[in-house]
Amino acid sequence: MHLLAEFTDLKPSSSPETFNAVRLGATRQDFLGKDQQGAPVFLVADEGEPVYRPVVQHRHLSAAFCMLCRLNVDGTEVVGRFAIIRFEGTAPELHELFIRCVRAAIADLPTGVQTPDIEARVNRLLGLFRALARPAGREISGLWAELYCITASGDVPLAVDRWHIDSTEAFDFSWSQGRLEVKSTVGAFRIHELALDQLQPPSGGSGYVASLVLKAANGGEGVLDLAKQVEAQLQGQLALQAKLWSVVVQSLGADFSEALDRRFDSDLAGKQLMLYRMEDIPTLPPVADARISSVRFKADLSTVQSSLGGSGAAALRGLFS
């Protein structure tokens, strides 16, 4: 991503109203700058009326609208009114994630956009970054495994389109006649926790379970590395880029620093990848008592044979071909 390198090369700004900045694209007057503390700040051309609006404030993001600013862009002075979307806090490890999320959120704004439209984008971003103040709903290995499956799918845009929007959905990937649930373990055995309803394929369709055995590796890849690989395959598909970064941010939780540091061996993950039909997985009999709404259990798949045959990687690509 050239934008991140250009941001890194910027010098910190000299005042709160003046920014050293780089231009974002050619159709709109939007910029990425660096504030006095060295944090990223987006300056989005705002054609709204310069009336008072309260500053939006969050622990990781703030926004002010229709503000008169002076920019230094490659030695040229640019003066205009902008919505200022600024990174807040003391977590520089989030700078890259902030840049990618905000860039994806504003990339398709039209020329002449008014303040309320920018506010709507900011409110969606606030919803995302609030997730970084809450406990993560799952282990980071689960997000890593889903991203790995997307990179290995053979059709990244289709895989992202089928990907869940949040972790509360019943399946990780869904389409009209199919469901795919991704399970991962960092243990020595292929043991996964499943919900009974995760082994129910759609009526008239097929259901699958991808199983990954992960190994931590300092020289491996992290969630951000895999997400950037996915984004590189989504050029020009702005809605899918925004979805990608939305899911990543919502999945990290308050322990984002530790989560972003976790790395796994992607080569080993590919060799260990198995894809099963849901019918292959050992399970429990259906529960007839209507008072029981959810059943979870652990299944050891170490000796389970896949009815799909061939390699797990090839079978996974077949789902998205």
The alpha helices in the chain, defined as continuous H runs, are 2-9, 95-106, 115-130, 140-151, 156-162, 223-232, 238-252, 256-261, 266-272, 312-319
Average pLDDT, the chain: 92
pLDDT single digits (tens) 44-83: 999 988 888 888 888 899 999 999 999 999 989 999 999 9
Assess whether pLDDT exceeds 60 at residue 220: yes
**Structure token digits, residue 133:** 């103040």
pLDDT single digits (tens) 298-317: 999 999 999 998 899 999 99
Q: What is the pLDDT of residue 246?
A: 92
Assess whether pLDDT exceeds 80 at residue 168: no
Mean pLDDT of 206-215: 97
CA-to-CA distance for 307 and 28, rounded, in angstroms? Answer: 53
pLDDT single digits (tens) 74-122: 989 999 999 999 999 888 999 999 999 999 999 999 999 999 999 999 9
Mean pLDDT of 3-14: 91
CA-to-CA distance for 108 and 159, rounded, in angstroms? Answer: 22
Share of the chain above pLDDT 70, in %: 100
Question: pTM for this one?
Answer: 0.91
The number of angstroms, rounded, from the C-alpha of 252 to the middle of its chain's C-alpha atoms is 9
Diameter of the chain by CA atoms? 72
Q: What is the pLDDT of residue 96?
A: 94
| DSSP letters spanning 84-126 | EEEE-SS-GGGHHHHHHHHHHHHTTPPTT--HHHHHHHHHHHH
Q: How confident is the model at residue 41 (pLDDT cuts 50, 70, 90)?
A: very high
Q: What is the pLDDT of residue 187?
A: 82
Mean pLDDT of 267-287: 94
CB–CB of 303/180 below 8 Å?
Answer: no
Mean pLDDT of 269-275: 96
Assess whether pLDDT exceeds 60 at residue 1: no
Assess whether pLDDT exceeds 80 at residue 137: no
